[in-house]
């Protein structure tokens, strides 16, 4: 087992986790980026169109039918395309930990095998987090961290939606403040870079600025899911002392 794929039993170190996640991401960047780009385009397009319409006609209200149409389209993408892309990237990252490079087709095929379970998980977690956000925001953040490992557990362990959420709660217990710090740091970095891209490109051309935003969003989304896999892997090593081959046995 190489240093990149190992973590000490009983220890979860954020720096090492992020470093290995970056190595896995770079090793698979073209394929992961292609997968993420596929659903990011459809996810970000409605919001970009609404933003551009508001910028071009600030005094005019967006037609309600058009607004709800874009919202419905975005929701459909989140529910249908996101799960497939998520599962494919997670599978590719996990296999990379084993020293295996898989094709986009193989990753998408594995993603399809967990499609409906991840759809159910996505619906449950989003509804739960939204409900928590309505309760003064803090419960929603707590739920998001608590269930942050549900997606890797669903894909890697082949669990159902509710079982995946319970499994995530078990894995994150005792590490949630640390995970909150990691996720907060990543979101701040994402926001800063995204803002800089818009700031630099928007004065040149609106279309170029939108393309830059989509490219950055796709790259960042792929890296985010690699980080989730690496955290999941390291939490299981720290709590259970399992090795990567035992974790990956479900795929064989």
**How would residue 3 be classed by pLDDT, with cut points 50, 70 and 90?**
very low
**How would residue 134 be classed by pLDDT, with cut points 50, 70 and 90?**
confident
The CA distance from 70 to 13, in Å, is 41
Residue 190: pLDDT over 50: yes
Q: How much is the pLDDT for 179?
A: 94
The CA distance from 21 to 42, in Å, is 26
Average pLDDT over residues 162-178: 94
Assess contact for 12 and 174: CB atoms under 8 A: no
Domain limits, the chain: 3-251
* Residue 72, Cβ density class (10 Å: 0-12 exposed, 13-18 middle, ≥19 buried): exposed
Express as a percent the part of the chain with pLDDT over 90: 36
Helix (H, G, I), strand (E, B) or coil at 147: coil
Residue 139: pLDDT over 50: yes
Q: How many helices (H) and strands (E) does the chain have?
A: 11, 0
Residue 4: pLDDT over 70: no
């Amino acid at each position: 087992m190489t240093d990149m794929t190992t973590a000490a039993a009983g220890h979860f170190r954020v720096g090492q986790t992020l470093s290995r996640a970056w190595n896995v991401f770079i090793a698979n960047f073209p394929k992961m980026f292609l997968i993420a780009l596929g659903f990011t385009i459809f996810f970000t397009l409605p919001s970009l169109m609404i933003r551009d319409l508001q910028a071009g006609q600030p005094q005019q209200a967006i037609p309600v039918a058009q607004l709800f149409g874009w919202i419905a389209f975005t929701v459909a993408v989140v529910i249908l395309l996101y799960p497939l892309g998520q599962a494919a990237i997670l599978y590719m990252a996990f296999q990379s930990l084993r020293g295996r490079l898989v094709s986009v087709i193989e990753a998408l095929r594995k993603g399809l095998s967990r499609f409906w379970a991840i759809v159910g998980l996505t619906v449950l977690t989003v509804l739960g987090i939204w409900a928590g956000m309505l309760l003064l925001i803090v419960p929603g953040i707590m739920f998001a961290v608590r269930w942050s490992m549900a997606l890797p557990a669903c894909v890697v362990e082949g669990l159902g939606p509710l079982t995946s959420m319970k499994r995530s709660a078990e894995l994150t217990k005792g590490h949630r403040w640390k995970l909150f710090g990691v996720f907060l740091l990543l979101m701040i970095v994402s926001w800063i870079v995204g803002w800089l891209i818009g700031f630099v490109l928007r004065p040149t051309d609106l279309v170029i600025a939108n393309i830059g935003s989509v490219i950055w969003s796709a790259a960042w989304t792929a890296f985010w899911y690699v980080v989730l896999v690496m955290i999941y892997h390291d939490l299981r090593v720290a709590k259970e002392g399992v090795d990567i081959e035992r974790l990956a046995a479900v795929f064989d």
